[in-house]
Amino acid sequence: MSANIAVLVSGGGTNLQALIDAQESGILHSGKITLVVSNAAGAYALERAKKANIPGVTLLKKQLGGQAAFEEALQKTLEEYHIDVIVLAGFMTILSGDFTAKWPRRILNIHPALIPSFCGEGFYGLKVHQAALDYGVKVTGATVHYVNHIPDGGEIIAQKAVEVLPGDTPEILQRRVMEQAEWILLPQATEAVCKEICQ
């Protein structure tokens, strides 16, 4: 038995690609990506899904009429595909407590810092790396955690540290954190959660 995974995306889908690659190489084997959901029209992540023969669905909050309607449509889609695990991979919408309560210990998110540093509402993308550089930390990294009603507030599953180097810009640091932490950590954590579910 393997768990059905839905990956929720908003942009380029580099973390989705890391998951697809991990599935192809056998690192991710207790779960299978059976759906990709984007909340942004024309997200490149959907192209990545298409190339890997994974069904892709776009759900737009504005078109659906707001957060509640969006989450209702999302829940329905996840049920249609018999999803067991949700992975947020650069997904730029905060899910409500009502939604996350339906999926206890079944939603994972990757955050580009070592929680509890530089996390919570407003900390996403390059803003996280800018904050780390502004603060002058010597080590940053990535965290995979369960998702609950508090942004970046769920139980930590795994973390990996990455060195901050002199001359780093937010863009350079973001790339290093992706390569050295996110793309390794997210597939490993997804495999661990799927394995636990399948036991």
Catalytic residues: 111
What gap in Å lies between CA 4 and CA 144, rounded to an integer? 19
Q: Are the C-beta atoms of residues 172 and 8 closer than 8 Å to each other? A: no
Report helix, strand or coil for 143: strand
What one-letter code names the amino acid at 69?
A: A
**Would strands 56-58 and 31-38 be described as parallel, antiparallel, or unpaired?**
parallel
What gap in Å lies between CA 37 and CA 12, rounded to an integer? 13
What one-letter code names the amino acid at 73?
A: A
DSSP H helices in 124-182: 126-135, 170-177
Backbone angles phi, psi at 141, to 5 degrees: 160, -150
